[in-house]
Amino acid sequence: MRIRPGRRDEIECLREIERAAAILFRATPHPGLARPEADDLVPAVVFEAAIRSGDLLVAVGDGDRPLGFALCTRVGDEAHLKELDVHPDAVGRGLGSALLAAVCETARARGEPSLSLTTFRDVPFNAPFYARRGFRMLRPGETGPALQALLAVEAEAGLPAGPRCAMRLDLRC
């Protein structure tokens, strides 16, 4: 397994990984998220923009086949992990951790002071996963207007607001 920048010819494969990874939500308090509709997936144009900016990293296995990806963006003045997905057939091999480490390394190299994300606090492979890797759950007063707005957009899109949270990792350490 290795991590490399994503390519335009992989976008549909990455969307399939996103769709397949959603199946893992069946065993969570949010089983309705296990069957995403096409319009719930990251749009191809978002992947294209991330490829151009260097904000899409892909974990590949034998034959350079994508097994997972990490998609970053900016929220306000901060680097933000928008999506991290690993195909269910590749879960348990450390790909998520390797992708997250690569995202942090890239953000540090760019001089980013921190990395934020939004996630579910009650899903083991969400907030607890990130907390074990140094992310801290933010209290409402710590999120700032950009992350608050993102959480509101997510709620409007159908993600249950109650169990959602924002997290941040200080990259200056």
Q: pLDDT digits over 57-107, tens only? A: 999 999 999 999 999 999 999 999 999 999 999 999 999 999 999 999 999
Q: Tell the CATH topology of 2-170.
A: Aminopeptidase (3.40.630)
- What confidence score (pLDDT) does residue 173 get? 66
Separation between Cα atoms, residue 35 and residue 51, nearest integer Å: 26
Closest of 97, 165, 113, 105 to residue 137, by C-alpha = 165
Average of per-residue pLDDT across 6-34 = 94
Taking 80 as the threshold, does the pLDDT of residue 119 lie above it? Answer: yes
What confidence category does residue 39 fall into, taking pLDDT thresholds of 50, 70 and 90? confident
Q: Of 36 and 121, which is predicted with more confidence?
A: 121
Main-chain phi, psi angles of 169, to 5 degrees: -115, 125
Domain ranges for the chain, please list them. 2-170
What confidence category does residue 129 fall into, taking pLDDT thresholds of 50, 70 and 90? very high
Task: Report yes or no on whether pTM surpasses 0.75.
Answer: yes
Q: Which positions ≥6 away from 55 have C-beta within 8 Å? A: 49, 71, 72, 73
Q: How many CB atoms lie within 10 A of CB 79?
A: 24
Mean pLDDT, all residues of the chain? 94
